[in-house]
Amino acid sequence: MTSIRRRLLAWLLIALIAVGAAAAVAIYLRTSEDVNTLFDYQLQQLAYQLRNRNFLHQGGPDSGTDDSGADFITEIWDGSGVLIYYSQPDYELPLPRTLGFSNVKWNNREWRVFTTVYRNHTIQVAHPFSLRHQMTAQMAQRALLPMAVLIPLLGVLIWFAVGRNLRPLERVSAQLRARSPAALEPLSTARLPREVTPLVTALNHLLDRLGATLRKQRQFVADAAHELRTPLAAVQLQIQLVERAASVQERNAALAHLRQGVARSARLVQQLLTLARLEPDAATPAHTPVDLRALATEVVAELTPIAQEKNVDLGISELHDAATLGDAASLQTLLGNLVDNAVRYTPAGGRVDVALRTAGRKVVITVEDTGPGIPPEDRERVFDRFYRRLGNDLPGSGLGLAIAREIVARHGGTITLADGPGGRGLTVVIGLHAIPE
């Protein structure tokens, strides 16, 4: 798990150290320059000073005072190139080749040399570079020392500062932790830093949508339970009537009613299940090409016996080759429901026509019946769950059209109700996307 606090600390410390290192280099270079200037000046002054000494007139090498501990080496040659003075016997630098400042490598050491000529005498003052480096290092170190102490201190400060600034996040998570799964009201965005607000806002949006889904689900369960009561009440009453039946005929009649009651309950449960599977958050089945011609034929064939028993003329009026991308099972449920409804509501002697047409990129399926129809003002409401129209003697679940609409919506299609043929009955028009052949 990554920690913003740790990462920030690491990055800031790395940055600090990098800046520190750069500063160290810069300070070192700058100091080194200063030290060089200073020492060069010193070398020069020392050499000039020697010009005024009388030993210039003495003959023969003079070892001078014991200066073995000194950092500077002084040597003087006369006009003929004879070394007449040197400050340290152990260090005999070679005769310089250039006047002024030069760098000489001798005896495994780098030397800074200043050479001047005065009255035929060559005066040379030198000292090792190592001295300068040492001094520069010391000075740079002294300048960098406070930084070395400050970096850990800054680390501690950063640690606390970051921790303090992450508190809004902790507050949000504490708020979330304290919640029950049912508490979906939005989190407070007051006193939140600008960087955290989008996260909390996004979370609030999610909570909102979740709440809406949950409410819908609860409403559905409540509605479903409520809707199950009525068929169950019927079944319970029908059972009692069977128990009370005094004769075989009465008993048989009561049993027939009971069977209808049970069938109706079973149908309602079946439709509730279908609808639950079609819930928007349920997993979407893979959309595959569905042969609508075959599907329509199958549905009509399946319902023909029921239609014939009712003396309803069920048939296909038009049948194009058409296919759509979708879920075959739910499309079958869709058409099955609609044709079944049409057959059930159409009185004996009536007619139900199923048509499948292609129109450009669209497939249009129509189911026409000569039943009682649905008045225009009711044509929207009948798609609502559990909405049942008045004077409807057939004990429907009030879910058939809700299911149809859900299935059509899942396929990106349309479903509308219109007058039936000749202004009587009902026409259901479904529009789906065609697959181009």
Binding site for another protein (CB under 8 A): 226-227, 229-238, 240-241, 244, 257, 260-261, 264, 388-391, 393, 395
Distance CA 425, CA 218 (A): 36
Residue 419 CB, shortest distance to another protein, in Å, is 23
The number of helices, as runs of H, and strands, as runs of E, in the chain is: 8, 12
What does the DSSP assignment read for 172-215?
A: HHHHHHT--TT--PPPP-TT--TTTHHHHHHHHHHHHHHHHHHH
Residue 213 CB, shortest distance to another protein, in Å, is 22
Nearer to another protein, 70 or 233 (CB): 233
Nearer to another protein, 148 or 233 (CB): 233
160 touches 3 (CB < 8 A): no
Nearer to another protein, 90 or 243 (CB): 243
Residue 305 CB, shortest distance to another protein, in Å, is 25
Nearer to another protein, 395 or 421 (CB): 395
**DSSP at 67:** -
Distance CA 94, CA 111 (A): 11
Q: Is 265 helix (H, G, I), strand (E, B) or coil?
A: helix
Nearer to another protein, 83 or 239 (CB): 239
**DSSP at 56:** G
Residue 220 CB, shortest distance to another protein, in Å, is 16
Distance CA 275, CA 406 (A): 8
Residue 244 CB, shortest distance to another protein, in Å, is 6
Nearer to another protein, 115 or 238 (CB): 238
Residue 394 CB, shortest distance to another protein, in Å, is 8
Residue 175 CB, shortest distance to another protein, in Å, is 31
Residue 229 CB, shortest distance to another protein, in Å, is 4
433: which strand partners?
A: 362
What torsion, rounded to 10 degrees, do the Cα atoms 290, 291, 297, 300 define? 20
Amino acid at 231: P
Closest CA to 83 of 72, 71, 98, 93: 93
Residue 262 CB, shortest distance to another protein, in Å, is 11
Nearer to another protein, 229 or 361 (CB): 229
Amino acid at 80: S
296 CA to centre of own chain: 44
Closest CA to 428 of 361, 339, 348: 339
Nearer to another protein, 251 or 293 (CB): 251
Residue 372 CB, shortest distance to another protein, in Å, is 15
375 CA to centre of own chain: 50
Measured from the Cβ of residue 407, the count of other Cβ atoms closer than 10 Å reads 25
Nearer to another protein, 36 or 265 (CB): 265
Give me the residue label for tokens 């004996």.
348
Alpha helices in 245-291 (DSSP H): 248-277
In the chain, the N- to C-terminal Cα span, in Å, equals 53
- Give 195's contacts (C-beta < 8 A, 6+ positions apart): none
Write phi, then psi, for 127 (nearest 5 degrees).
-150, 155
Residue 225 CB, shortest distance to another protein, in Å, is 9
Phi-psi region of 349 (alpha: psi -120 to 50; beta: other; left: phi over 0): left
